[in-house]
């Protein structure tokens, strides 16, 4: 939801190529209009879906982009549409916008909401294609990427018919198999904390190499100087988790929104595909 411009094309060896990071300069401020704001999710007040944020200017840029955190818009600072915004704006609607053609909103906004979920899946599948062992598992990951990419590029009416939950259920087991294959090479016990409630847990300097932390709650956990190399972090809730000095290099399925929601410092090691938040 921030108005910064980032071009980040997933162009790693063996991975499919698709722009999977937000480029707000080529979007029509869709996340600031199409999606709801809720005070419980890091916003100072509630906003209904379809209602423009009052800080959005006429050129679809955020007037308070440099002051989002101090003004209570942490929800904006942790959000990333995974490139769905510019894809819907530029590809699906050919650069036309809801502002210039208000009638487009009823098709554009719900299409963006679906595409955002599909692009998140593409982020994971791009990594799966890169990280899976050469062979059938890698080819299966690439085929899944191509299929979800085709869905995300459907006509808006077709896009609205996509069952996102069903697609997640289909992709999930594949990502699990990739995770198992990659983590099998990590030495040590590889602890299983799937969906564990570890909120506020003191885990400083913990050896979590190759651990499964899928869906785990690590809200405000102390992970300073923890070793998370090769850990599976798909869906892990890292809000306010202290990652200062932690090593997350080589971890699996970590996203920029997860990183943005956590606390870190200059010593925190992140995968190369992710950016260090400015507030670290």
pLDDT at residue 12, as a whole number: 41
204 and 92 share one domain: no
Number of H helices and number of E strands within the chain? 7, 0
39 and 81 share one domain: yes
81 and 135 share one domain: yes
| Residue at a domain's end among 148, 166, 182 | 182
Residue pLDDT, tens place only, 66-79: 899 899 999 999 99
On the question of pLDDT at 6 being above 60, the answer is no
Domain that holds residue 121: 24-182
Please give the average per-residue pLDDT across 129-140, as a whole number. Answer: 97
Per-residue confidence band for 42, with pLDDT thresholds at 50, 70 and 90: confident
Closest CA to 244 of 209, 214, 279, 211: 279
118 and 203 share one domain: no
Q: Total domain count for the chain?
A: 2
State the helix-helix crossing angle for 136-152 and 105-131, rounded to 10 degrees. Answer: 170
Q: Which long-range contacts (CB under 8 A, 24 or more apart) does 22-25 make?
A: 22/80, 22/81, 22/82, 22/83, 22/85, 22/86, 23/83, 23/85, 23/86, 24/60, 24/61, 24/85, 24/86
> Does the residue 6 lie in any domain?
no
Here the CATH number for the domain that contains residue 252 is 2.160.20.80
pTM: 0.91
Select the more confidently predicted residue: 270 or 39: 270
Percentage of the residues of the chain whose pLDDT score is greater than 70: 94
Residue pLDDT, tens place only, 74-100: 999 999 999 999 999 999 999 999 999
Residue pLDDT, tens place only, 140-169: 999 999 999 999 999 999 999 999 999 999
Residue pLDDT, tens place only, 48-66: 999 999 999 988 999 999 8
pLDDT at residue 14, as a whole number: 56
pLDDT at residue 5, as a whole number: 36
Closest CA to 256 of 79, 99, 60: 79
192 and 123 share one domain: no
208 and 155 share one domain: no
137 and 32 share one domain: yes
The strand pairing partners of 207, in sequence order, are 227
140 and 193 share one domain: no
> Does the residue 84 lie in any domain?
yes
175 and 208 share one domain: no
On the question of pLDDT at 274 being above 70, the answer is yes
162 and 240 share one domain: no
> Does the residue 9 lie in any domain?
no
> Does the residue 152 lie in any domain?
yes
| Residue at a domain's end among 182, 206, 226 | 182
168 and 42 share one domain: yes
Mean pLDDT (the chain) is 92
207 and 178 share one domain: no
Please give the average per-residue pLDDT across 12-30, as a whole number. Answer: 81
């Amino acid at each position: 939801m921030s108005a910064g411009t980032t071009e980040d094309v997933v162009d790693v060896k063996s991975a499919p190529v698709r722009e999977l990071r937000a480029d707000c300069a080529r979007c029509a401020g869709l996340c600031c209009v199409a999606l709801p704001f809720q005070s419980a999710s890091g916003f100072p007040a509630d906003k209904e879906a379809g209602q423009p944020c009052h800080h959005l200017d006429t050129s679809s840029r955020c007037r308070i982009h440099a002051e989002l955190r101090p003004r209570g818009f942490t929800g904006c600072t942790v959000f990333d549409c995974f490139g769905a915004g510019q894809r819907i704006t530029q590809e699906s609607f050919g650069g036309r916008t809801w502002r210039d053609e208000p009638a487009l909103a009823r098709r554009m906004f719900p299409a963006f909401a679906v595409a955002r979920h599909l692009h998140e899946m593409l982020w994971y599948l791009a990594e799966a294609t890169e990280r899976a062992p050469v062979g059938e598992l890698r080819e299966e990951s690439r085929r899944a990427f191509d299929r979800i990419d085709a869905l995300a590029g459907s006509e808006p009416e077709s896009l609205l018919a996509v069952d996102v939950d069903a697609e997640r259920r289909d992709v999930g087991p594949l990502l699990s198999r990739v995770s198992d294959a990659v983590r099998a090479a990590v030495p040590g016990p590889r602890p299983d904390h799937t969906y564990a409630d570890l909120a506020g847990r003191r885990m400083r300097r913990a050896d979590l190499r190759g651990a499964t932390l899928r869906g785990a709650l690590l809200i405000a956990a102390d992970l300073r100087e923890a070793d998370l190399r090769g850990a599976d972090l798909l869906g892990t809730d890292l809000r306010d988790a202290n990652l200062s000095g932690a090593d997350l290099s080589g971890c699996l399925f970590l996203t920029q929104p997860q990183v943005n929601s956590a606390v870190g410092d200059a010593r925190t090691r992140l995968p190369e595909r992710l950016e260090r938040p400015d507030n670290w």
